[in-house]
Structure 1
């Protein structure tokens, strides 16, 4: 039985949705910090700030955790990175930790930042190491939110997390460098990962979560096709390996099933219709486990 730390705050909604779709629903009330998952492989669950989770997983308070790669690096936690997840605090895909200054500053590259500039950030360790590598002395101020609002009145430079840079630009800032890219990661305690029983349970939970992620981007198509149109239709039909084909009883038709990319299905269906497909059904998929 394993213990899990799940993230509170910006990663919370997407993480809980992922577990729910994997049939690992986290059951709790609004003020319940000790939720439950009805699965015999999972014991204690805690909802914690993602900043704390890597440290707690490293120390063995939890076998498994979900946090941002940025916080694994910021805390310097010695954990096993089990898998990357396909979302961040702003949605699907990666986010970036960037360096920005006010748009009126005559600085276009981090190497030209003035020595002893005031830098505000939620990532003091990553920022300190970054400027040390550049051999630029700076004054670091730990930010507890709204970092972009502090430049230029209180601070000269901000190091912040962004996906597109839109919020920074709206606040009159320009990006002049990047420290790292980040995304959500599944992390494990090293001793737990080395334990065969716990590692098996961790791998099984990971399989269920990734089954959901894989399924989110695909749909099942099923259709009936007259025999004379079969070859033309099969030539136009994508599949994970090969489509499933079965003969319909008593008539000169076949039933075909295949899995296709969800973002391509609206253009695919009219082509299949032109190739002779009939009775086309598009069916959502809850999990795909390769």
Structure 2
């Protein structure tokens, strides 16, 4: 039913892992094969292509469903229908940012300081031109094929580059003076596919599975036992999505309690639970959370 296109490059490994965790494993003959399959009745065909191209191909109807960053949707001005953000990137769940950066010793402190004719290098030339023009800066924007941060100050005066943490820019001796865009990974379709009820239903179901995986990441299921006299103290300590589940154990003198908690809190939570009277604490991973 659906023709799916997934991003090659920096998002590739994280995207394939997401689909695998969602029980939609992507299979191909080798790591360099651009054709793949997913053993699912909703997906007929899978391609793995550069994310720069994906929004245009989806908008043109060559594929029904695509995944790429918002940065490439904006760069290509592609007319697609977003089904929502998928909050993952190459290394973290944080978004990436497209920023304007200049050398540390540059006299430019803000975008308004940049003179007409300022030389700017970017892998996002169209997005950069629009951004500078909207702010009244006449910039000489030059397409970069990579290593953009290495081109200032000898080749250009400023760069427009993508950053997740800012470390690479700082290491290159650059500082950020403005931000153009915050970009999450998105899943999107074209208008014709979106208007097809069967395809829209299939796409919504797939996104539900992907969202379930992303919602589960960073959370764990905690199970424990606690005596009646300590129940309130333990339950009051527990974070939860709605409310902890509490079931009375045989004999009526103790309870089994379970709840979902953030993984980054568990190292503090477990000792405190023990101090408040909890016993038999079990921490379990979660594959999906579907509200």
Give the aligned length. Answer: 290
Q: What is the CA deviation profile of residues 14-53 of structure 1, one whole-angstrom value per residue up to 9, with x for unaligned ones?
A: 1111111111111112232111111111110000100000
Say which SS state the counterpart of residue 289 (structure 2) adopts: coil
Instruction: Indicate the residue corresponding to 2:6 in structure 1.
Output: 6
Instruction: Indicate the residue corresponding to 1:282 in structure 2.
Output: 283
1:195-274 equivalences in 2 (<5 Å): 195-250=196-251, 252-274=253-275
Q: What is the TM-score of this pair, normalised by structure 1?
A: 0.96
The unaligned stretches of length 5 or more in structure 2 are none
Distance, in Å, in 1 between the alignment partners of 2:215 and 2:229 is 34
| 1:17 partnered with 2:17 | yes
| 1:51 partnered with 2:37 | no
Could you tell which deviates more after superposition, 6-15 or 247-256?
247-256
| 1:105 partnered with 2:122 | no
The unaligned stretches of length 5 or more in structure 1 are none
Could you tell which deviates more after superposition, 173-182 or 18-27?
173-182
1:24-103 equivalences in 2 (<5 Å): 24-28=24-28, 29-103=30-104
Distance, in Å, in 2 between the alignment partners of 1:264 and 1:134 is 44
Q: Displacement, 1:130?
A: 1.3
Say which SS state the counterpart of residue 126 (structure 2) adopts: helix
Q: CA 1:243 to 1:102, structure 2 compared with 1: closer, same or farther past 3 Å?
A: closer
Q: CA 1:109 to 1:37, structure 2 compared with 1: closer, same or farther past 3 Å?
A: same
Say which SS state the counterpart of residue 35 (structure 1) adopts: strand
| 1:159 partnered with 2:160 | yes
Q: What is the TM-score of this pair, normalised by structure 2?
A: 0.95
Distance, in Å, in 2 between the alignment partners of 1:138 and 1:236 is 56
Q: Displacement, 1:91?
A: 2.4
Retained in 2: the 8 A contact 1:147–1:160? Answer: yes
Q: CA 1:43 to 1:280, structure 2 compared with 1: closer, same or farther past 3 Å?
A: same
Q: What is the RMSD computed on CA atoms of the aligned residues?
A: 1.4
Could you tell which deviates more after superposition, 186-195 or 231-240?
231-240
Say which SS state the counterpart of residue 91 (structure 1) adopts: coil
Q: Displacement, 1:86?
A: 1.1
Q: CA 1:233 to 1:134, structure 2 compared with 1: closer, same or farther past 3 Å?
A: closer
Retained in 2: the 8 A contact 1:88–1:182? Answer: no
Q: CA 1:111 to 1:90, structure 2 compared with 1: closer, same or farther past 3 Å?
A: farther
